[in-house]
Homo-oligomer: A and B are copies of this chain.
């Protein structure tokens, strides 16, 4: 049985399309009820004008349908995960810095173009829904999704529903100040978790340490005239570089502390870690070890903690598509 046959066997309207709209690429795929992705396609994002980006989105949707070998009649809806602030009810991108968007009526324009219901959400919210519907958080009523990448943020499912908070800021632990007078954060504060443990923070720590004379294999990167990135730091740590390992261990401690605080707040069944840094084994090992350590030190947290409390996303490169697909696959969760 090839993939096309498998998809066509679905009932009309049983499939959805998830579109992950980023500042550099737009990825789309057809998703079935079990979270299988068919007909993945990917295009560069044309950010010259919102209309151009939306044309690429519509093209990605049509291409995914074609690539999956299904009929448009099978498609129940299109979900879009986009960065920034979204007016979910009206499907408007209120603002998206990466895309240069402000008040773009995505839903209206795409529905007119594609003649199928569309839903739009912030991409991190969508990712949390994807974990809940298709990922390691499947079937857990209370889930915290912690995204660790160029930024850090948590999203929360409570009793099977996305909880946004009063101002859409629930779970913004990335901007909790963990170190008074710590390094500056892009939010304007100092010492936020994000400024201590997100990707750019790892790179900055390494640059500062090397510049102040700490011996490290990362010196070579700078000698080459390359920009030192979080990837360099993670790779050096994996290869046993002392400075890089210290940076990763410290970041792991801060992330573990966030997981601990989120757990005491939300008492979730599972904390799912996603984003680029969730793929860095040495960092994730440090996080898991420090969280387990906190359970030893803190009896109340021990009652919340279990060996499967903190789990890495299993969705990987499909996380964006599946999160977007979840928006239309299970609208009652939003």
Could you tell me which A residues sit within 8 Å of B by CB distance? 141-142, 154, 156, 158-159, 163-173, 175-177, 187-190, 192, 260-262, 264-269, 294, 297-301, 303-304
Contact = CB atoms under 8 A, between A and B. Distances in A.
15 contacts: A141-B166, A142-B166, A154-B265, A165-B266, A170-B265, A171-B264, A172-B267, A173-B264, A173-B265, A175-B299, A175-B301, A187-B299, A188-B299, A261-B261, A265-B265
Contacts of A154: 265
Nearest to A142: B166
Given A142-B166, A158-B163, A166-B142, A300 B268 contact: no
A166 B306 CA distance: 12
A234 to B, nearest CB: 27
A154 to B, nearest CB: 8
Contacts of A297: 177, 189-190
A175 B298 contact: yes
Given A166-B268, A260-B176, A189 B299 contact: yes
A298 B185 CA distance: 10
A267 B187 contact: no
A304 B169 contact: yes
A154 B267 CA distance: 12
A261 B193 CA distance: 12
B267 A175 contact: no
A292 B33 CA distance: 48
A266 B170 contact: yes
Contacts of A304: 165-167, 169
Contacts of A175: 264, 298-301
A264 B158 contact: no
Contact of A169 (B171, B294, B300): B300
Which 4 A-B pairs give the minimum distances between C-beta atoms?
A: A165-B267, A175-B300, A265-B265, A170-B267
A156 B264 CA distance: 12
Given A167-B304, A173-B261, 15 more contacts: A142-B165, A158-B158, A159-B163, A166-B267, A168-B267, A169-B300, A169-B304, A170-B267, A172-B267, A175-B299, A176-B260, A187-B300, A262-B265, A265-B265, A265-B266
